[in-house]
Amino acid sequence: MARQKRLNIPGAIYHVITRGLNGTAIFKDAKDRKEFLTRLSTALEKTNCLCYSWVLMTNHIHLLLRPIEKSLSETMRKILTGYAITFNHRHKRRGYLYQNRYKSILCQEDRYFMELIRYIHLNPVRAGMIKNIEELNSYPWSGHSAILGKTRNIFQSIDEVLQQFSSKRSFAIESYQEFVKDGWTEGKREDLTGGGLKRSAGGWERLLEMKKMKEFWRGDERILGNDDYIVSVLKKAEEEMLEKDKYQQAGWTLAHLVERVCNMMSVTEGELKKRGRMNNISFAKGLIAYWGYNELGMSGSAIARYFGIKRPSLDKLIAIGERVVNERSLKLIS
């Protein structure tokens, strides 16, 4: 079965989960965790993405993010790719660190914002990594202690969380703490890791017809929300795909993109097969990867196959392309 496309809704809330390959540890010690948090902080700042909740487990990660301008994919690429390279180098290992691609769940904010913050922060207690809620209050590898004011994470958005309880900070902190304690008694919440509608082959209009007929809808793990919210999200996603289809209808195939970039950067297609390090060849490869993946909606696997590289190497090319676009103010279509 083909992978479902990411749902990219600017300003929306996403619950992101990344797991280690075959359950392997992503973090082996405090140094690893500090390295990840440094990369998280830098990526959030560069992509203007907000983080409300986070936890670093041994073999997986939970984040609650709100991308403002850039796509969630750009933020996660900046976090995960560099960390995996550093981890492998430090621990003298090779190969993939993560289990497939990360899971991102688009969440209905008014229903699930606080529920997800509580769910994410309670993970270390539920997993037995710490004994109780009291230990969680000072646990360094989640965002819970920062909301309580016991630690400070410059990348974490605290005020929007506390304002859900009160405009008076001390009362808001006390209320938040009670809210988390109440969640501990509920047990594990499987419903907070995905649910909702299964996108049909007929698009969002078909979903509206199904709603009128009161048909049964299966879960779509990309979305967490009620029926109306999910229909609205899929409509926006459909519109975004139609926008990208305009490029393809205008002849923007991978071959067309390669030709355009080669002319722009004064390189030949044959030179793209050569290794280039911070020169026009590597810049051209980066532009093809960045524009193909982000603007034209081409699959990462197709672009990687064209260059004869693995996915982690493609992520590096996309990052190079993004940098070239920003530094030179380049546009695919003038």
Q: 219 and 185 in one domain? A: no
- What backbone phi and psi angles, to 5 degrees, belong to 90? -65, -40
Q: 104 and 73 in one domain? A: yes
The SS3 of residue 51 is strand
The C-alpha angle 211, 212, 218, rounded to 5 degrees, equals: 20
114 falls within a domain: yes
Q: 175 and 78 in one domain? A: yes
6 falls within a domain: no
Check if the beta carbon of residue 34 is closer than 8 Å to that of residue 86. Answer: no
Q: 81 and 146 in one domain? A: yes
Predicted confidence pLDDT, tens digits, the chain (334 residues):
444 556 677 788 899 999 999 999 999 999 999 999 999 999 999 999 999 999 999 999 999 999 987 788 889 988 998 899 999 999 999 888 998 888 888 887 777 889 999 999 999 999 999 988 899 999 999 999 999 999 999 999 999 999 999 999 999 999 999 999 988 876 666 556 554 433 333 444 444 454 444 433 334 455 555 455 555 555 655 555 545 555 554 567 888 899 999 999 999 998 888 776 778 899 999 999 998 887 787 878 888 889 888 877 888 888 899 889 888 888 887 5
Q: 262 and 136 in one domain? A: no
Q: 144 and 218 in one domain? A: no
7 falls within a domain: no
Question: Which CATH number goes with the domain that contains 58?
Answer: 3.30.70.1290
Q: 177 and 224 in one domain? A: no
Q: 307 and 235 in one domain? A: no
27 falls within a domain: yes
3-state helix/strand/coil string of 79-106: HHHHHHHHHHHHCCCCCCCECCCCEEEE
Q: 84 and 176 in one domain? A: yes
Helices (H) and strands (E) in the chain, counts: 14, 5
CA 67 to each of CA 61, 82, 131, 307: distance values in angstroms, whole numbers, following the listed order: 18, 19, 34, 30
Residue 64: beta bridge partners? 15, 53
333 falls within a domain: no
Q: What is the total count of domains within the chain?
A: 3
C-alpha to C-alpha distance for 246 and 83, rounded to whole angstroms? 36
Residue 245 lies in domain: 203-249
Name the domain boundary from 146, 169, 193.
193
2 falls within a domain: no
Check if the beta carbon of residue 78 is closer than 8 Å to that of residue 195. Answer: no
Q: 263 and 144 in one domain? A: no
Q: 81 and 172 in one domain? A: yes
Tokens 């403002």 belong to residue:
68
Q: 232 and 300 in one domain? A: no
82 falls within a domain: yes
28, two tokens: 């082996």
C-alpha to C-alpha distance for 150 and 136, rounded to whole angstroms? 11
The pLDDT of residue 4 is: 54
Name the domain boundary from 169, 193, 217.
193
Name the domain boundary from 163, 193, 223.
193
334 falls within a domain: no
